[in-house]
Copies of this chain bind each other. A is one copy, B any other.
């Protein structure tokens, strides 16, 4: 079983009537149900307003992949929780960041850049093209996904070069955007997928849902949990025979800030 935690801000759903109508149980619940269509997933949801934003140590310990949708409340996510999620990703927990999550603390922390972009909200048409048809995340999608009404996200996108480019989007207003990008961070895999503006029923779209399921499967770690350390390998344990030359100033615990 792949254990997925779908995290949502759950703010717009409660404050905006349009969003509330499209996602009566919240975007997170819609996404969770899309994942549950595959019996290989075990899905829970978590939202900003829960204690610890629903991301307790125990829940994250038992999460293989987390999905993240946030927008107006990035600043309200506690640093302590961001660090907890960051640590789990480096250990091997996969993470799928969605739409306005490009400005989330966790995404910017994993990438080290601003992740800025251009944007326009007027319901224009988007076409999400597959530029890498053999990629696991693109399987079953065909040529492209057509979205009748979306929010434009346009280049330049302030990200480090993706390790893998899966999708590039076309917008009716004339812009383009790298809409499906993969990176490795530690033992974890990160996929950013841009469609998902809250005032359109994008997460109800079957192809979008397929991308989410593909991405969660792709994002599962390939090996056991990576336990990070900065181990000293003493002379006697060196693979080759060594003698001490000069004095050692090694002071246990001096290896630096952690």
CB within 8 Å for A130 and B156 given contacts A122-B235, A230-B119, A239-B173: yes
A232-250 vs B, CB cutoff 8 Å, 1 = contact: the mask equals 1111001110111111111
Q: Which of B120, B134, B239 contacts A146 (CB 8 A)?
A: B239
A30: Cβ under 8 A from any B Cβ: no
At the interface, yes or no: A96 with Cβ under 8 Å from chain B?
Answer: no
A185 in contact with B173 (CB, 8 Å): no
A107-124 CB mask vs B (1 if < 8 Å, else 0) is 001111110111111111
Does A56 interact with chain B (Cβ within 8 Å)?
no
Smallest CB separation, A228 vs chain B (Å): 5
How far, in Å, is A186 (CB) from chain B's closest CB? 5
Contact of A185 among B113, B117, B170 (CB under 8 A): B113
Q: Which residues of B lie under 8 Å from residue A161 when comparing CB positions?
A: 163-165, 184
Query: Across the two chains, which residue of chain B brings its CB closest to A124?
Result: B242
Which residue of the partner chain B has the closest CB to A106?
B112
A interface majority secondary structure: loop
Q: Known contacts being A223-B138, A238-B173, A238-B174, is A249 close to B121, with CB within 8 Å?
A: yes
Q: Smallest CB-CB separation from A178: which chain B residue?
A: B131
B-side contacts of A229, CB under 8 Å: 116
- Which chain B residues border A123 with CB–CB below 8 Å? 244-246, 248
**Contacts of A258 on B, CB cut-off 8 Å?**
103
Chain B residues near A183 (CB-CB < 8 A) = 160
Contact (Cβ within 8 A) A152 B230 = no
The answer to whether A192 has its CB under 8 Å from any CB of chain B is no
A121 touches B255 (CB 8 A): no
Q: Does A57 contact B (CB under 8 A)?
A: no
- Near B by CB (< 8 A), chain A positions 150-180 give 152, 154-158, 160-161, 163-165, 168-176, 178
Q: Is the CB–CB distance between A184 and B160 below 8 Å?
A: yes
Provide the residues of chain B in CB contact with A124, threshold 8 Å.
242, 245
Contacts A110-B112, A129-B155, A172-B240 known; A221 to B134 CB distance under 8 Å? yes
A53 within 8 A of B: no
Q: Give Cα distance in the complex from A248 to B149, angstroms.
A: 11
A27 to chain B, nearest CB (A): 14
Q: Ordered nearest first, which 5 A-B pairs have the shortest CB separation?
A: A174-B239, A123-B245, A74-B257, A134-B187, A173-B238
